[in-house]
Amino acid sequence: MKNFTLSAFLLTFIAINFSIAQNKIDSNKLFGKELTEANKQSIEETGFIRCGSSEYEQYLKQTNPNRATSEEFENWIAPKIQELKAQRANSPSVVITIPVIFHIFTDGFGPENLSQATIQAQLDQLNIDYANAAGSPFASAADTEIQFCLAKQDENGAPLAEFGINRVTTYGGGPFSTGNFETTYKPATQWDPTSYFNIWVADITGGVLGYAQFPDNSGLAGLNPTGGAANTDGVVVLYSSVGSVANPNPNGGQYASGRTLTHEAGHWLGLRHIWGDTTSCNNDDFCADTPDSTGSNFGCPTGTDNCIFDGLGNDMIENYMDYTDDTCMNTFTADQKLRIDAVMANSPRRMELATSIACNEATVYNLDGRVEINSLNLIDCGTTITPEITLTNMGNNTITSATISYFLDTDTPSTYPWTGSLAMNQSEIITLPSIDLTSGNHIFNVELVNPNGSTDLNPSNDIDTSNSFAAFYDTATIEFELIPDDYGSETTWEFRDSSNTILYSGGPYTNNDSTPVNDTFTVTIGECYTFTINDSFGDGICCAYGNGSYELRTDNNDVIFAGGAFDNQENVVVSVNNLSVDSFSLANTISIYPNPTTDVLNIKATNNNLPESYKVYNMLGQLVASKTILNDSDLAVSTSNYSNGMYFIKIEKEGNVLSLPFIKK
């Protein structure tokens, strides 16, 4: 199912990305964290931050309190490694193939719009490097028995036009800040991390070549009530680093041969830098067959031994987990392989990948129609939507007729009869009749019913639903709070009425001052307002250079919009009117997680404001489960006995109903 982000009736969010030539490198911080000594040196030596994974891990621990510390992770993985050693003495290991999806951020032009051939070259380099086929001179070098394949099908099982590639054009070609990638772009574009190794490729600001999310241990991390870091799991690399030794990227310089991704994939698989991000000679990467070092190496040095008393010889500058140039790298060791094996056998979202079928040829059904929401054609502060959808034939048989069922929230569905002729892979855009909106929060749903008067053989793509969108607000004031990032001098904002008159404004602010800024906007019933926040550098106010944010609230303290991760500018459009009824804004207080789910679906209610009941329906509209909610324990919905597929959970509170889709896997 595709989630459609709706710019909504009386609340519209517009993110505008402008291409900028600047490339801000903060010599002190990344993700709001102090740079490691290795990265400070990296900037001095190369002008780049070779790897941002260490700073990113600190950021994840701050934003995800349940995430394991390094010590906790090592205490967890050490016995797993010993168990594997004992097992391998009696039986050989097997090659694990990991499906890969490259999310390429592009406006369709320019060098960041990498070709299928470039992606294939990068994949080939990964497989060479992880198979110990790059010509390592070391006896300790090992085939990790990890290989990678380009996904052939998307999350719905439909065939990919370009294997392993998801071109993301929603946000333009960048450049993009690392903070925005974490808070906005990765969660919005990630594919199921239990089925795909997600790799985001983009024009990244700050001189960062790449960074990875270190794996979780199964006891602590990534499992907090908000899903933790699961929705950002993967690797981000600079587009110019994608390539191979045989086919280097023409824009990549000494980092053109694909070893940035080899390095970052190593972190994603549990490997640490060979010097352990310390200045001591104490085997801080927890691999006894990598010579100890007190720091990173650059270029292609020879005869460097930072720890002459460890008896292991010179620094292994050829190791993929050092900072040397791409063409100098050629080695993973046997102990590094064991760490990877332990992660792949035990770590959440890693251990499931071995059974993923994403690289299999997609199943093609005889009768398979797909419906997707293109646009709701919503005008700012308007009162109607005119949905535009796309009907696509994904099957072998020509589709000549179908019924389109559509509805808001839990309203009685309306139907639209369609006739035509769609051969396999052909599409048609259909404009549905306009729908009048009322106050409150809404979700638009569309479903394909009975193509050719028969049963669709692949119901997983027969339903699409919009994100929740809000109607007008009943408020006399709008409360505004801003927390600047470290570069407050770049931030300004304005609050305008429908005649474009500036009613309130603020900024620029003082650098390195996170003192909250508060203001109250007096508003008039029947008026439409636009709040605009600007960042002159183009990297928003969160989170690469401080955790800045802003929030707009009603006089009842209901959140209208909260943000901070944008590029040059972000706009929020708000209409003010009287509510026809005392509406409980379910969509602002209720959410579900994890989605997709395999066992338990959790309902999250803010401020302990419990809903009254829920009902679960399958795609045929049949009631699967229902429950009256009396306490927090009733918010856990067991889905273990559900068949795989899409469902809707309808959550009720004070006569209002919120309908949310979820997938059982």
Average model confidence (pLDDT) across the chain: 85
633 shares its domain with 533:
no
343 shares its domain with 414:
no
CATH of the domain at 351: 3.40.390.10
Catalytic residue numbers? 264
246 shares its domain with 138:
yes
Residue 157 lies in a domain: yes
Residue pair 373/444 in contact by the 8 Å Cβ criterion: yes
pLDDT per position as a tens digit, 583-599: 335 556 677 877 778 78
446 shares its domain with 577:
no
Residue 297 lies in a domain: no
113-117, 163-167, 184-188, 413-417: which has the minimum mean pLDDT?
184-188
The residue out of 457, 488, 519 marking a domain boundary is 457
Assign 13 a pLDDT band (cuts: 50, 70, 90).
very low
Diameter of the chain measured on Cα atoms: 80
| C-alpha–C-alpha distance, residues 10 and 528, integer Å | 8
Average pLDDT over residues 498-520: 94
450 shares its domain with 373:
yes
CATH of the domain at 619: 2.60.40.3080
Q: What per-residue confidence (pLDDT) applies to 556?
A: 84
Contacts of 399 (CB under 8 A, 6+ apart): 367, 369, 391, 393, 420, 421, 422, 451, 452
Percent of the chain past pLDDT 70, that is, above it, reads 90
Percent of the chain past pLDDT 90, that is, above it, reads 50
The residue out of 536, 561, 583 marking a domain boundary is 583
347 shares its domain with 373:
no
Q: Which of 662, 658, 661, 663 is nearest to 410 (CA)?
A: 658
Average pLDDT over residues 173-188: 85
Structural domain of 402:
369-457
The residue out of 408, 434, 457 marking a domain boundary is 457
pLDDT per position as a tens digit, 106-156: 999 899 999 999 999 999 999 999 999 999 999 999 999 999 999 999 988
| C-alpha–C-alpha distance, residues 346 and 352, integer Å | 9
| C-alpha–C-alpha distance, residues 142 and 140, integer Å | 6
Residue 254 lies in a domain: yes
pLDDT surpassing 80 at residue 380: no
Domain total of the chain? 4
Assign 92 a pLDDT band (cuts: 50, 70, 90).
confident
pLDDT surpassing 50 at residue 217: yes
552 shares its domain with 506:
yes
pTM attached to this predicted model: 0.71
Q: What per-residue confidence (pLDDT) applies to 587?
A: 57
Q: What per-residue confidence (pLDDT) applies to 236?
A: 97
CATH of the domain at 429: 2.60.40.10
More confident residue, 644 or 313: 313
Assign 6 a pLDDT band (cuts: 50, 70, 90).
very low
Residue 450 lies in a domain: yes
pLDDT per position as a tens digit, 513-562: 989 999 999 998 878 899 999 998 877 887 667 778 899 998 888 888 88
235 shares its domain with 91:
yes
Q: Which of 25, 63, 37, 54 is nearest to 211 (CA)?
A: 54
245 shares its domain with 139:
yes
More confident residue, 547 or 341: 341
pLDDT per position as a tens digit, 279-293: 888 878 899 999 999
Residue 308 lies in a domain: no
46 shares its domain with 117:
yes
Token pair for 181 = 């990638």
Q: What per-residue confidence (pLDDT) applies to 244?
A: 97
Runs of H (alpha helix) within 553-595: 586-589
CATH of the domain at 547: 2.60.60
Residue 312 lies in a domain: no
Residue 654 lies in a domain: yes
398 shares its domain with 424:
yes
Contacts of 541 (CB under 8 A, 6+ apart): 483, 484, 485, 491, 533, 535, 548, 549, 550, 564, 566
Residue 419 lies in a domain: yes
452 shares its domain with 595:
no
